[in-house]
Structures are given as C-alpha cells and as structure tokens.
Amino acid sequence: MDTLTNVFDGLAVALSWHNLAYCFFGVFVGTIVGVLPGIGALATISLLLPITFYMDPGSAIIMLAGVYYGAEYGGSTSSILLNLPGGPASAVTCLDGYPMSRQGRAGVALFSTTIASFIGGTLGIIAMIVLSPSIVALAIAFGPEDYFAVMLLGLIAASTITRGNPLKGLGMVCLGVLLGGVGVDINSGVQRFDLGFLQLAEGISIVAIAMGFFGVSEIIASVMDVRGQPVVQKVTLASMRPTRDETMRSIAPTLRGSGLGGLFGALPGTGPTIASFLSYALEKRVARDPGKFGKGAIEGITAPEAANNAAVQTAFIPTLTLGIPGSATMAIMMGALMIHGIEPGPGLMRDHPDIFWGLVGSFWVGNIMLVILNIPMIGLWVRLLQIPYTILYPCIVCLICIGVYSVNNSVFDIGVVLIAGIVGYVLRVFDFEPAPLIIGFILGPMMEENLRRAMVLSRGDPLVLVQSPISATVLAVTVGLLGWALLSWARNRQSGETVAAIGGEHV
Amino acid sequence: MSSRYNIGDILGGGFLIVVGLWFAVAAYKYNIGTLLNMGPGYFPRMVGVVTILIGLAIVLTSRRGGAELAMSWRAFGAIAASIVVFGVLLVPFGLIPATFAATCAAAYADPASRPVGTLILAAILSVAMSVIFIYALSLPLVAIRGPF
C-alpha cells in the first residue's frame, strides 16, 4: 500500500497549478516538435535546458519529460499525413499510416494511434510504478565496481545497438568520455585539458555540446531534406471514428506493442525506435494475413505507436532508479537534475520523493493532456505542418545561439556550439551517430569516479571487477553483447546485406 | 570514386586517432598515479588509448562501398556563418543586429529562400526575440547599441 500512497502524493504534486502549467507547456512543445520533421525531442530538450536553471528541479524535469513523451504522440501525425516521420520512432508508422491516409481514413489513423499511444504510455507508467521500488531495493547492494560495470554496459549497449558499424558507435562513446573529462578533476582539483581557457574550468557546457551535436548538425542535415508537402485531406472529428471491426483488431496489437515497448524502453541502448520497429515486425509475423501490411492495416500503426510510447515511459526506470541513462535524451534529462545538485540514482526516491513520484504523477496528467491535444485539437497540428522549414530553421538557429549564450552569459559557449556543430555534422556525414557521444559525455565522469573509488576500496586490485557477483555478471553480458554486435556486423557486411533499417536510435 | 576504402571511415577513424592521441599525451602532464591511487591523468590516458585503438580498427576494417558522402556545403557554410556572426555581433551591437544578421546568413542555406522574404523574416525574428528574451524573460542582454 506504500506505493499507492506515494502515487497519490505524486499526483498531488503534479496537480499543483504551476506543475500543471509546466507539464502542459512541455507536452505542447513536445507535440509541436514531434509533428515537425527536422527537429527532434533531444534538440528541443537541450534548447529548454537553460530555462530550467530558474525553475525548481521537480517542475524542470516534469516539463522536459513532457517534451520527450509529447514528441512521440506528435511524431505519428506527420507520418500519417505526409509520409514523413516526425521522429525516428515514428518512421515505421508511415508504412501503414500513409496508405490509410491515401484511402481517406487519415482521421481513423490519427485517432487510433493516439489511443494506442495513450494505452502504451499508461502501461509503461504502471510498469515504472511497480518495478522502480524493487530496483532501488536491489541497487542498494551495488558497490562502486558494480556501478562501473553497469555504466560500461550502458555505454557499450548504446553504441553497438545501432545500424551500421558498431566500431563507430564505440568511437563516439570514447570521444564523449574524453570530452566529459575536461575541467577540474574532483579528486585532486587539477585543471585538465582546458587548453588554457578559464571558461573550461567547470567542464564543457552540456547545453553547448548537446545543441551543437544535435541541434546544429540536425539543422544542417535537414535543410535540404525537409520539404513541405500539401496535406492530402482535411481531418474532421467525425472522420476519426474507427469502425467496430477496426477497434477489435487494434486491441491485441496495442497490448503486444506496449509489452514489447515497455521491455525495450527499460533496457540500455534500445529504446522507442527499436521497440516500434520490432513490434511492427511482430504484428506482421503473428497476423493471419501478412499481405495486408503496407496497404493500410490498422495493426501496423497501433502496435508501433503503443510500443514507442510505452518505451519512452519505461526509459525513465534505469535513469531515475540507478542513475544510468539508457539513451542520449535520458542523459540530458539527468544532466538537468544534476545541475540542480540532485543525483539521480537509488537515493532519489528516498531523498526526493516529491520529485520522483511527482514526475510519475505528471506522466499520467501529461498523457491525458496529450489525448486532448491530439484528438479535438488535431486541426492545429495539421495547419502547423504547412509552415515551411525555410521559415522554421532560422528561428531555431537563433534560439540555439541565444539559449546557449544565456547559460553562462558567455560568447565562448557560442563558439563551443559552433565547433560541436561543425564536428558533429562532418562526423554525421561520415556515418558516425552523435547519440553515443552524449551518453559518454554524461557517464564518463561518473565511471571515472566509481572506478577510482572501487580501486581505492579494493587496494588497487582490478580483480574486484570480476569478484563481485553483480559486476562479474554485468561484465559478462557486456562482453557478450560486444562480441555479438561485432560478429553480426562482420557477417552482415560479408554477405553484403544492409542491416534492417533501424534508424538513429537513442533519440 | 573507386578507391579501395570508404573515405568516411578513413577520415572519421583518423579523427578519432588524432583526438585520442592528443588526450593520451596531454594526460601525462597530470599525475598518472597507480591503480590503487589513480591520479587525474590515469582514466583519460586509458580512454585515450582505447580511442586510438578503435580509430585504428575503423581504418583497418574499412572497405570500399557504402553510401557516397553527401555533404551539403551550402547549408554547412551558411549555418556556421550564421552562428559566427551572432557570436561576433551580440556583445558589441546587441541582440537585434545579431539576430537580424544571423537569420539572413542562415536563410542562405536554403536555395529556395528569397531576399525579400528573408529580410521580412529577419526583421520579425529580431524584434520577437528581443521582446521574448529581454522584456519577458529579462535576460541580461541589450537590444541594440552602438560600438562606442
């Protein structure tokens, strides 16, 4: 019953006026960037980071989280109407969503994906409520060597479970860890790698790194790609009603999608994108008539949308209970808490129950807001899709510049954004994904600290990493994962196949 | 382009090697310490060496094929220039000139943009940004000033 009390306390926090307002702002902005192709949740969250410095940490995380799951709701809208995914996790929704739209059933598609998203999100929240306390209880037994091992697993998983060359992901992680080490060393007070710049004493600004590697490089990459298209049809409320048959056919896929999404959301490295692709594949396999997929099958949109929304909720489990982010977005979210001096981890639920349970409460509130935003107010988003990117992206560039300047009132940080943007874009052209770098940037300093602590406690005996049962198990899994990723990449390349089109994960 | 290697792998891997090398060498300036008592240089040196190895592995396993590099120089140059002019103009001249110039530079990235439309957008944006950030959010910025 303890948990139930906590949930109600959390709801009370989430229902306070200012938190309701921040939550609404978050999901509203999230829906906008979800609907609009060419700008993602991660870039937006890093754009909003400077604002959160002036907020209390609970409200800050409620707002940023709203952007994250709001974007998953919005993402399906442009997939269905324009055949252009609003974000990577909604790419698979194009396959059957756009054909439905061509058949004049865009309304039904939008309605079903919203409901499926809501169910997926709700089940994800329930999983979070049920599982988090037991994970925290488990995590209390963790020593520094165990944390080091789990973080290593997180880094390896995040960098190898992508499309293409896992070595490139690993390289980006290392780059992130190295950049994360710039600044004062906490143990000795020595200034490291600052190139003589006083501005680097406190480390490279996470806002500047995230905005450069994601915001700027994303804009450069999408200026030429994102072209507005006319929306094919008007969407009215009356056109949204699915038939009885469509409703019945959606139930099982929605539940299966939620389960798959909840699982992959909580695992490190996997996330909403992989969850949505896998649940689409699963539906195609279990369907009696797989031939109808790709021609407007409702199962093909409800399952992946339930999956990606369940995944964005369960992604918070490892982040908040262990302090280990499974994706770049989660890493930024953690950064937002750490700026306020709050360390996400097993202590969070005990020391700041209002933040933890308030956030959980806000998930529900936010999901209900999103249903309202995406069903009665769908016309607004359809109109939003008609704004040309030509107008949009200069606004985003200016917002990035002002935002990053305002963090420390320093022009130096604008320079960091510039360099990060240039390097990020060039590496993107070379097929190096930026997401693992961000995770490395956040986790690197924490890994260093835990490793140093573990070595002191074990009197410099590296064997402690394999003597602790938790650490040994996790390291074995890590090695297995690394081997599997490299082998399957080598094999795929040998046979000249391209790995399944699982696009940029971690976002 | 029928080189034996994928140019992206070579350049990207090379970049990793250079950065890893720089960190690994720079780490020696700080106290390396021992495994028992790691100094500030220990962990960065370790990661730097791993970075070099990964960079080498990417270069050595590179093979011909893969997608052609699709670099859009125009967008790249325009967006980079836009950030530069913003950073250069912001403090001496204020937010309005910085936003105006940055918008004009950024708009050039899209070949479909037209001069008149760009100027209108820049005017609206520079005023809107000043209103939002200086008057509504009261950031310590100046809207416009002369270079005294």
Q: What is the ipTM of this complex?
A: 0.92
Task: Tell me what pLDDT residue B4 has.
Answer: 59
Q: Are A418 and A428 in contact (CB under 8 A)?
A: no
Mutation for A interface: B35, B49, B74, most A CBs within 10 A:
B35
Q: CB of A472 within 8 Å of any CB in chain B? A: no
Query: Which amino acid is it at A342?
Result: I
Nearest to B76 among A193, A220, A459 (CB): A220
- Looking at the complex, report in whole angstroms how far the Cα of residue A260 sits from the nearest Cα belonging to chain B: 32
Chain A: closest CA distance from residue B6 (Å):
9
Alpha helix positions (H), A161-298? 166-180, 206-210, 217-223, 244-266, 272-286
A4 touches chain B (CB under 8 A): no
pLDDT recorded at residue A496: 56
Alpha-carbon separation of residue A448 from A180, A235, A326, A440 (angstroms): 10, 53, 18, 11
Residue showing tokens 């937002």: A336
Q: Judge: B83–A401 Cβ closer than 8 Å, yes or no.
A: yes
Residue in B9, B11, B16, B61 to test binding to A, most A beta-carbons within 10 Å? B16
Which chain A residues touch B36 with a CB distance below 8 Å?
A: 455-456, 459-460
Low-confidence ranges of chain A (pLDDT < 50): 497-507
- Please indicate whether, in this complex, the C-beta atoms of B83 and A188 are within 8 angstroms of each other: no
| A452 contact residues in B (CB cutoff 8 A) | 38, 42-43
Amino acid at A128: M
> Nearest CA of chain A to the CA of B145: how many Å?
17
What is the nearest CA distance from B55 to chain A, expressed in angstroms? 7
Task: Tokens 């130096």: give the residue.
Answer: A412
Residue A431 phi, psi (nearest 5) = 80, 30
Q: Which tokens go with A423?
A: 């390097």
Rounded CA-CA distance A221/A39 in Å is: 11
Residues of B in contact with A395 (CB under 8 A): 125
* Partners of residue B71 in chain A, C-beta under 8 Å: 426, 429
**Exposed, middle or buried, B140 (CB in 10 Å: 0-12/13-18/19+)?**
exposed
Give residues 106 to 135 of B whose Cβ lies within 8 Å of A.
106-107, 109-110, 112-113, 117, 121-122, 125, 129, 133
Of B70, B95, B121, the CB nearest to A429: B70
Provide the residue-wise pLDDT of chain B in tens; the chain has 148 residues: 445 578 889 999 999 999 999 999 998 888 888 888 888 889 999 999 999 999 999 999 887 665 567 788 999 999 999 999 999 999 999 999 999 999 999 999 988 888 999 999 999 999 999 998 888 777 788 888 876 5
Q: Which of A46, A77, A71, A61 is nearest to A396 (CA)?
A: A46
Question: B44, A418: Cβ pair inside 8 Å?
Answer: no
| pLDDT the model gives residue A502 | 42
Q: Do A171 and B43 touch (CB under 8 A)?
A: no
B contacts of A178 (beta carbons < 8 Å): 19-20, 23, 44, 47-48, 51
Neighboring chain A residues of B101 at a CB cutoff of 8 Å: none
> Are the Cβ atoms of A460 and B36 closer than 8 angstroms?
yes
What is the Cα–Cα distance from A37 to A58, expressed in whole angstroms? 29
Could you tell me if A253 and A120 are in contact, meaning their C-beta atoms sit under 8 angstroms apart? Answer: no
Residue A117: predicted pLDDT: 95
B129 vs A contacts (CB less than 8 Å): 398-399, 402
Least CB-CB distance to A411: which of B48, B72, B87?
Answer: B87
* Pair of tokens at residue A10: 């959390």
**Contact check, Cβ <8 Å, A431/B43:** no
Question: Is some CB atom of chain A closer than 8 A to the CB atom of B79?
Answer: yes
Nearest CA to B123 among B96, B91, B88, B85? B96
| pLDDT for residue A170 | 94
CA distances from B86 to A79, A398, B106 (A): 34, 8, 10
The answer to whether the beta carbons of residues A469 and A146 sit under 8 Å apart is no
Residue of A145, A214, A390, A428 to mutate for B, most B C-beta atoms under 10 A: A390
- Residue A89: the pLDDT is 84
Contact call for A171 and B16, based on CB within 8 A: yes
Give, in order, the Cα–Cα distances in Å from A120 to each of A43, A113, A356, A441. Answer: 24, 10, 20, 31
Residue B96: per-residue pLDDT: 94
Hey, which residues 41-70 in chain B have their CB within 8 Å of chain A?
A: 41-44, 47-48, 50-51, 54-55, 57-58, 61, 63, 66-67, 69-70
Cβ distance of A167 and B54 shorter than 8 Å: yes
Q: Using CA atoms, how far apart are residues B38 and B21, in angstroms rounded to an integer?
A: 20
Q: What's residue A231's pLDDT?
A: 59
Interchain CB contacts (distance < 8 Å): A and B: 184
The two three-digit tokens of residue B122, written as one number = 């820049």
Distance from CA of B131 to the nearest CA of A (A): 13
CB A203 within 8 A of CB A180: yes
